[in-house]
């Protein structure tokens, strides 16, 4: 065979960057070279031979030499055991891992055409539930790890480059190196008192030694309302309204007098929704030499909301570097973010709710504009429910939030003796938020009048200072290796709040000083501190037997002196069966088989500061005297709880990691039991105590157990390479004890004045739906008369066409005592799956995600199908029961004496769904063009988010996006929702 010189360029599939240091050998020989700093190599071999490429962190690849110039793209390996996993205060090789950790690399979430990092994680991490926090631009997500482990704040602890942050919604995708989610006690206990709800560790990207790499991403998309609610047009509304008034014995509304003359009227949803653009630009440069690396990036996001006026803009800047000199190592991260969100009004008094709620409820007879009215908008008049013109709400009140975030982290590390290092880590974060609420003077219809221009400014400042001293020791002797950690840390948070408001500003001026009217100001501050010692030992013998033990002791200012400290130990063991001799015959087929088990105690201190002392609330004022002056008031208004202590969660976990089919199929499965004791909760106490709020107490015990599974399969068929992933999570929760023993906690108000819909009590799941059961329709007076107890009618106010409610307790009347369990807001399981494939220049990404078995209470439907109050109704009411036409929608009747619209099972729906989260098709240009353009890689793509959702749920979105109390879970408060958008976008990813 004739030997020729073959040259090649090796790049990473993840970012298109050249890969230096790749070992290139000729198959079945010892001859080989390594790629240079530019990822280039040159080797003498024969055409037709095969080259084997190997690099740390990448899947080995064989390439046939078909020409003298090769361009090779290497894919990062999914099951590489030398892969490093980030754990608290350090890293560990994946094969030494004993805890349950889910992780994802930046490359897997980059540029999916969405604006938010966490949204792109949905469905991808087993055991990690990611729910939308609303459709409004910049709203982000709510993350739950292994279900709801507490009844208070169940959000995990977020750590970015070693520093605690309140949220990771404002990060830029391109900046993410990896996200590691610590799920069990073994992994998370090193974070002690804050780890009970899991820990999310984000590592931002650093540079690699080699020539500079520049990456530029651009994305432009359009968003549209994915699902709207069907409501009546003007003529239809008038007909239903008239029928309802006739049935209620009330005079018809003036505005409904001549239905046929009204036509379609105003479609209020058309009025506020729009096709909205979203755009995102990111640039990153990175590189480094022997002694140091750097990475600098910036990004800009501009997302307009599908509700007109609303929007979100974000600017990110990040710099990260690391330098080594002798036995010293230094590094830092600086992350700056500025966000501006334009929100919609929450409501204008009255009962429409926010513009989304008002757009559903506003009667279509009314007009949008009235040039003669102050402010220019028309509105409702007459004896109708106070619902505001939603467009007027959007334009006449400007509510915006500007938030600046600083995250800095600096560390210095010294190697004292080989293997022993001391590290000082200093972190500082600051958040400065300004909320502006400017209300223009207006008259909107006859119900909403605001005579002056008013401005309210709120400034909030939160600062966190972190000091960590850690000693690390790692040593290998014989077949044993140890990795030990000891540390002492201090953390302090300061918060301050200032509100300034002034009424009666001249038109066009928006500063407090310009106001001529009443001033309001408020201010307060909070401090909290945490002082901790920590230690961890990781021991491995012969890569077969693994042991991890960790301990943290935290002292928190949030608790009274006697209960300030908490201890959080954990222990875990692992067994790499695939490294055993007896397994050697199977290792080629099953390269990985590892069993893990862990047990530990985690804490939670997510309560407000100073709960242990009884305070005097001031400014509870009154008026006194002949001159009617302000009389300053102050008194204790609530009870203190001096004896509260840590909430603690005991977690047991067993898991298995395996790879089959020569590593093509990977599997990670875990089963866990989490028992939370001394749950910190505001337990409802009777109103007759006179307290204005419920005290925080250690109120009970909860248990979560669950199973989670992650699967991956990668293979190729000819030139088609593909990989498939799947996740499955199942969590069951149960309240073991609560409060007084017979304590019942109700929650989930679904409508503006509605009754609660959920119940949490011992023996049941958290926040189960607990509702009066709707049992069909009374089709005749005989049926009503027959529904009696001891000769008395159970529903005396009912007429034919009204709903029959189940008298569960048999007391002869319908009341709250008749409520029954009606389902859970938690899915019996949730899942995600996706496929990534490439064929020559084309690639495809498709990701699906869903839940199964959960229920949703549809609050907006409760309003819109009621026909009792004077607002617009759902199109379902066209099919209301009449004596001639018996249907399952109750009769139209104003006043609703039978309370057909009460909170009941009538409005409970299945919440199961399957959503296509993302579909993306990309094209990467080939070598000739690439070389001509002198670039490393260029990819163009089209992407669709939320392309379709398969569900029986009739509300805006089964992924509700309701934040707030756990007791509101699964309750769609459509009154103040922001519906989800469907987004189509195009993008470019360029690497120079």
Partner 1 sequence: KKSTLELLNPNQLTTETYWKTETDVQSALAATYGLLRDVNGGFWGVRGIETSNGRGDDFFIRNDVATLYQLSTFTNTPDNGPVNDMWNTCYRAIFRANQIMENVDKVSELSADAKAAYVAEAKFLRGLNYFILAINFGDAPINLKTAATKDDYFVAKSPEADVWAQAKQDFTDAAAGLPVAYDKQWVGRATRGAAIAYLGKAQLYTKDWPGAATTLAKLTTAPFNYQLMPQYGDNFVVAHENNQESVFEIQLGDVGGTDPWAGENSAQALGVTTAQEFAPAEVAGWFEVSPTDKLFNEFKKEKTVDNDFDPRMYATLIWDYPGATFYTKPFTSFKLIFGYSSMFKKYQNYTQKDEITGASGASNYTSSNNERALRYDDVLLMLAEALTMQGKPGEAYPFVKQIRDRAKLAPLTAGLTQDQMMAEIRHQRMLEFAREGQRFYDLKRWGLLKQEITNSDKVGKQFYVAGKHDYFPVPQQEMNSNPKMVQNSHW
* 19, 180, 282 from 177: Cα distances, Å: 17, 10, 15
Q: Which pairing describes strands 3-12 and 69-74: parallel, antiparallel, or unpaired? A: parallel
**Which of 215, 894, 957, 989 touches partner 1 (CB under 8 A)?**
894
Site for partner 1 in 12-71 (CB under 8 A): none
| 664 CB-side CA count, 13 A | 10
Listed in sequence order, the residues at least 6 apart from 6 whose beta carbon sits closer than 8 Å to its beta carbon are: 42, 43, 44, 45, 51, 65, 67, 68, 69, 70
Binding mask 382-401 for partner 1 (x = CB under 8 A): xxxxx---------------
User: Among residues 82 and 797, whose Cβ is nearest to partner 1?
Assistant: 797
Q: Is 443 in the site for partner 1 (CB under 8 A)?
A: yes
Site for partner 1 in 266-285 (CB under 8 A): none
2 sits in the region (left: phi over 0; alpha: psi -120 to 50; else beta) called beta
Contact 458, 434 (CB under 8 A): yes
Report the Cα–Cα distance between both ends of the chain, in Å, rounded.
37
Kindly state the tokens that stand for 15: 């970012």
Site for partner 1 in 808-847 (CB under 8 A): 815-816
Residue 458: burial class (beta carbons within 10 Å; 0-12, 13-18, 19+): middle
What's the closest the beta carbon of residue 232 comes to partner 1, in angstroms? Answer: 18
What's the closest the beta carbon of residue 675 comes to partner 1, in angstroms? Answer: 23
Give dist(CA 353, CA 393) in Å, integer: 10
User: Among residues 66 and 809, whose Cβ is nearest to partner 1?
Assistant: 809
Binding mask 458-497 for partner 1 (x = CB under 8 A): --------------------------------x-------
Q: How many CB atoms neighbour CB 796 within 10 A? A: 11
Q: Which stretch binds partner 1 (CB under 8 A): 180-188, 293-301, 379-387, 582-590?
A: 379-387
Site for partner 1 in 332-361 (CB under 8 A): 349-351
Nearest 5°: CA angle at 880, between 879 and 882? Answer: 115
Listed in sequence order, the residues at least 6 apart from 961 whose beta carbon sits closer than 8 Å to its beta carbon are: 131, 132, 133, 134, 135, 139, 977, 978, 980
**Which of 68, 82, 275, 446 touches partner 1 (CB under 8 A)?**
446
Q: Is 630 in the site for partner 1 (CB under 8 A)?
A: yes
User: Among residues 211 and 376, whose Cβ is nearest to partner 1?
Assistant: 376
Q: Is 687 in the site for partner 1 (CB under 8 A)?
A: yes
Contact 422, 408 (CB under 8 A): no
The single-letter DSSP state of residue 307 is: B
**Which of 633, 883, 926, 964 touches partner 1 (CB under 8 A)?**
633
User: Among residues 44 and 516, whose Cβ is nearest to partner 1?
Assistant: 516
Give dist(CA 201, CA 469) in Å, integer: 19
**Which of 620, 788, 929, 933 touches partner 1 (CB under 8 A)?**
620
> Which of 217, 211, 296, 178 lies closest to 17, judged by CA?
211
Kindly state the tokens that stand for 852: 């199964």
User: Among residues 542 and 811, whose Cβ is nearest to partner 1?
Assistant: 811
Q: Which stretch binds partner 1 (CB under 8 A): 118-126, 207-215, 499-507, 537-545?
A: 499-507
Q: Is 527 in the site for partner 1 (CB under 8 A)?
A: yes
- 52: β partners: 25, 62
* 152, 493, 560, 581, 830 from 564: Cα distances, Å: 19, 17, 6, 50, 38
Residue 66: burial class (beta carbons within 10 Å; 0-12, 13-18, 19+): exposed
**Which of 21, 32, 277, 555 touches partner 1 (CB under 8 A)?**
555
3-state secondary structure at position 289: coil
**Which of 62, 513, 627, 884 touches partner 1 (CB under 8 A)?**
627
User: Among residues 275 and 520, whose Cβ is nearest to partner 1?
Assistant: 520
**Which of 34, 416, 692, 788 touches partner 1 (CB under 8 A)?**
692
Q: Which stretch binds partner 1 (CB under 8 A): 42-50, 176-184, 277-285, 742-750?
A: 742-750
Kindly state the tokens that stand for 12: 């990473």
User: Among residues 527 and 927, whose Cβ is nearest to partner 1?
Assistant: 527
Give dist(CA 87, CA 92) in Å, integer: 7
What's the closest the beta carbon of residue 254 comes to partner 1, in angstroms? Answer: 8
Contact 947, 919 (CB under 8 A): yes
**Which of 428, 639, 713, 787 touches partner 1 (CB under 8 A)?**
639
Listed in sequence order, the residues at least 6 apart from 493 whose beta carbon sits closer than 8 Å to its beta carbon are: 462, 463, 464, 526, 527, 528, 529
What's the closest the beta carbon of residue 813 comes to partner 1, in angstroms? Answer: 8
What's the closest the beta carbon of residue 790 comes to partner 1, in angstroms? Answer: 14
Rounded to a whole number of angstroms, the CA Rg of the chain reads 31
What's the closest the beta carbon of residue 740 comes to partner 1, in angstroms? Answer: 6
Q: Is 790 in the site for partner 1 (CB under 8 A)?
A: no
Q: Is 902 in the site for partner 1 (CB under 8 A)?
A: yes
User: Among residues 853 and 897, whose Cβ is nearest to partner 1?
Assistant: 897
**Which of 753, 885, 932, 934 touches partner 1 (CB under 8 A)?**
753
263 sits in the region (left: phi over 0; alpha: psi -120 to 50; else beta) called left
Q: What is the dihedral of CA 854, 860, 862, 863, to 10 degrees?
A: 170
Q: Is 631 in the site for partner 1 (CB under 8 A)?
A: yes
What's the closest the beta carbon of residue 489 comes to partner 1, in angstroms? Answer: 12
**Which of 1, 28, 371, 619 touches partner 1 (CB under 8 A)?**
619
Binding mask 721-740 for partner 1 (x = CB under 8 A): -------------------x
Number of residues lying near partner 1 (CB under 8 A)? 104
3-state secondary structure at position 515: coil
Give dist(CA 82, CA 543) in Å, integer: 12
Q: Is 693 in the site for partner 1 (CB under 8 A)?
A: no
**Which of 145, 501, 534, 702 touches partner 1 (CB under 8 A)?**
501
User: Among residues 687 and 718, whose Cβ is nearest to partner 1?
Assistant: 687
User: Among residues 453 and 668, whose Cβ is nearest to partner 1?
Assistant: 453
Q: Is 589 in the site for partner 1 (CB under 8 A)?
A: no
User: Among residues 28 and 626, whose Cβ is nearest to partner 1?
Assistant: 626
Contact 893, 244 (CB under 8 A): yes
Give dist(CA 582, CA 540) in Å, integer: 19
Site for partner 1 in 67-106 (CB under 8 A): none
Q: Which stretch binds partner 1 (CB under 8 A): 1-9, 684-692, 837-845, 938-946?
A: 684-692
Give dist(CA 555, CA 561) in Å, integer: 10
Q: Is 634 in the site for partner 1 (CB under 8 A)?
A: yes
Q: Is 948 in the site for partner 1 (CB under 8 A)?
A: no
**Which of 104, 614, 673, 793 touches partner 1 (CB under 8 A)?**
614
Give dist(CA 148, CA 292) in Å, integer: 43
User: Among residues 423 and 902, whose Cβ is nearest to partner 1?
Assistant: 902
Q: Is 624 in the site for partner 1 (CB under 8 A)?
A: yes
Alpha helices by DSSP H, listed for 733-798, are 781-786
User: Among residues 348 and 725, whose Cβ is nearest to partner 1?
Assistant: 348
Kindly state the tokens that stand for 704: 């979560």
User: Among residues 230 and 816, whose Cβ is nearest to partner 1?
Assistant: 816
> Which of 515, 396, 492 lies closest to 444, judged by CA?
396
**Which of 327, 475, 516, 716 touches partner 1 (CB under 8 A)?**
516
Site for partner 1 in 858-877 (CB under 8 A): 868-870
**Which of 3, 257, 511, 618 touches partner 1 (CB under 8 A)?**
618
């Amino acid at each position: 065979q004739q030997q020729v010189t073959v040259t090649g360029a090796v790049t990473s599939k993840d970012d298109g960057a050249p890969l230096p240091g790749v070992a290139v050998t000729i198959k079945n020989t010892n001859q080989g070279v390594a790629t240079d700093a530019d990822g280039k190599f040159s080797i003498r071999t024969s055409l037709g031979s095969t080259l084997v490429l190997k690099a740390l962190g990448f899947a080995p690849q064989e390439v046939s030499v078909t020409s003298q110039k090769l361009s090779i793209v290497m894919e990062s390996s999914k099951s590489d055991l030398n892969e490093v996993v980030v754990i608290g205060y350090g890293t560990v090789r994946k094969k030494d891992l004993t805890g349950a950790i889910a992780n994802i690399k930046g490359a897997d979430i980059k540029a999916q055409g969405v604006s938010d990092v966490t949204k792109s994680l949905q469905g991808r991490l087993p055991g990690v539930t990611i729910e939308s926090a609303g459709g409004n631009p910049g709203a982000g997500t709510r993350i739950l790890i292994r279900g709801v482990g507490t009844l208070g704040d169940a959000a995990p602890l977020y750590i970015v480059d070693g520093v605690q942050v309140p949220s990771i919604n404002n990060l830029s995708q391109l900046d993410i190196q990896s996200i590691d989610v610590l799920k069990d006690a073994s992994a998370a206990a090193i974070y002690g008192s804050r780890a009970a709800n899991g820990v999310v560790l984000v590592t931002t990207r650093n540079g690699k030694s080699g020539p500079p790499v520049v990456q530029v991403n651009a994305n432009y998309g359009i968003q549209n309302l994915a699902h709207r609610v069907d409501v009546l047009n003007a003529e239809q509304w008038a007909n239903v309204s008239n029928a309802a008034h006739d049935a209620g014995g009330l005079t018809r509304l003036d505005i409904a007098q001549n239905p046929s003359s009204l036509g379609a009227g105003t479609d209020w949803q058309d009025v506020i929704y729009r096709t909205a653009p979203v755009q995102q630009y990111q640039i990153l440069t990175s590189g480094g030499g022997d002694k140091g690396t750097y990475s600098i990036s910036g990004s800009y996001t501009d997302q307009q909301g599908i509700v007109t006026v609303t929007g979100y803009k974000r600017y990110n800047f990040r710099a990260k570097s690391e330098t080594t000199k002798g036995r010293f190592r230094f590094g830092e991260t600086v992350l700056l973010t500025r966000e501006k969100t334009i929100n919609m009004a929450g409501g204008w008094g009255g009962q429409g709710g926010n513009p989304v709620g008002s757009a559903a409820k506003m009667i279509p007879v009314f007009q949008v504009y009235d040039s003669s009215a102050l402010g220019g908008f028309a509105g409702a008049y007459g004896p109708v429910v106070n619902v505001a013109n939603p467009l007027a709400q959007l334009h006449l009140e400007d509510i915006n939030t500007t938030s600046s975030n600083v995250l800095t982290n600096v560390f210095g590390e010294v190697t004292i003796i080989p293997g022993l290092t001391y590290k000082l880590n200093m972190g500082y974060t600051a958040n400065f938020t300004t909320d502006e609420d400017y209300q223009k003077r207006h008259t909107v219809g006859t119900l909403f009048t605001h005579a002056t221009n008013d401005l309210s400014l709120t400034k909030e400042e939160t600062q966190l200072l972190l000091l960590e001293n850690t000693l690390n020791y790692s040593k290998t002797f014989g077949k044993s290796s140890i990795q030990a950690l000891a540390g002492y840390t201090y953390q302090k948070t300061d918060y301050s709040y200032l509100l300034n408001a002034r009424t009666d500003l001249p038109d066009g001026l928006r500063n407090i000083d310009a106001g001529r009217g009443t001033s309001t100001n408020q201010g307060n501050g909070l401090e909290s501190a945490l002082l901790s010692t920590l230690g961890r030992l990781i021991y491995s013998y012969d890569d077969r037997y693994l042991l991890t033990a960790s301990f943290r002791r935290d002292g928190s200012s949030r608790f009274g002196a006697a209960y300030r400290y908490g201890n959080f130990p954990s222990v875990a063991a692992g067994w790499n069966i695939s490294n055993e001799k007896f397994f050697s015959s199977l290792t080629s087929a099953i390269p990985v088989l590892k069993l893990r088990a862990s047990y530990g105690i985690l804490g939670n201190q997510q309560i407000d500061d100073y709960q242990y002392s009884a305070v005097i609330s001031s400014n509870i004022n009154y008026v006194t005297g002949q001159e009617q002056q302000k009389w300053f008031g102050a008194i204790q208004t609530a009870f203190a709880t001096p004896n509260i202590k840590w909430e603690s969660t005991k977690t047991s976990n067993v898991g298995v990691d395996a790879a089959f089919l020569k590593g093509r199929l990977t599997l990670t499965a875990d089963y866990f039991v989490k028992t939370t004791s001394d749950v910190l909760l505001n337990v409802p106490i009777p109103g007759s105590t006179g307290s204005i709020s419920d005290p925080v107490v250690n109120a009970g015990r909860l248990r979560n157990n669950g199973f989670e599974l992650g699967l991956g399969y990668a293979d190729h068929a000819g030139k088609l390479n593909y990989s498939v992933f799947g996740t499955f999570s199942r969590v069951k929760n149960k309240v073991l004890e609560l409060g007084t023993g017979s304590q019942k906690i109700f929650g989930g108000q679904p409508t503006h004045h509605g009754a609660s819909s959920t119940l949490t009590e011992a023996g049941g799941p958290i926040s189960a739906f607990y509702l009066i059961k709707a049992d069909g329709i009374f089709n005749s007076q005989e049926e009503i008369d027959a529904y009696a107890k001891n000769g008395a009618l159970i529903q005396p106010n009912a007429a034919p066409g009204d709903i029959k409610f189940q008298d569960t307790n048999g007391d002869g009347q319908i009341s709250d005592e008749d409520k029954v369990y009606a389902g859970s807001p938690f899915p019996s399981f949730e899942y995600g799956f996706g496929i990534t494939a490439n064929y020559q220049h084309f690639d495809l990404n498709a990701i699906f995600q869903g839940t199964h078995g959960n229920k949703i209470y549809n609050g907006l439907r409760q309003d819109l199908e009621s026909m009792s109050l004077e607002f617009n109704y759902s199109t379902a009411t066209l099919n209301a029961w009449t004596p001639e036409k018996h249907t399952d929608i109750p009769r139209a009747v104003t006043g609703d004496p039978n309370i057909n619209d009460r909170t009941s099972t009538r409005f409970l729906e299945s919440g199961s769904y399957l959503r296509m989260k993302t579909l993306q098709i990309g094209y990467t240009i080939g070598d000739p063009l690439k070389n001509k353009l002198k670039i490393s890689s260029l990819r163009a793509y089209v992407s669709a988010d939320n392309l379709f959702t398969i569900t029986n749920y009739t509300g805006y979105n089964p992924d509700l996006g309701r934040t707030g109390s756990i007791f509101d879970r699964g309750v769609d408060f459509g009154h103040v929702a922001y519906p989800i958008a469907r987004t189509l976008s195009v993008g470019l990813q360029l690497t120079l």
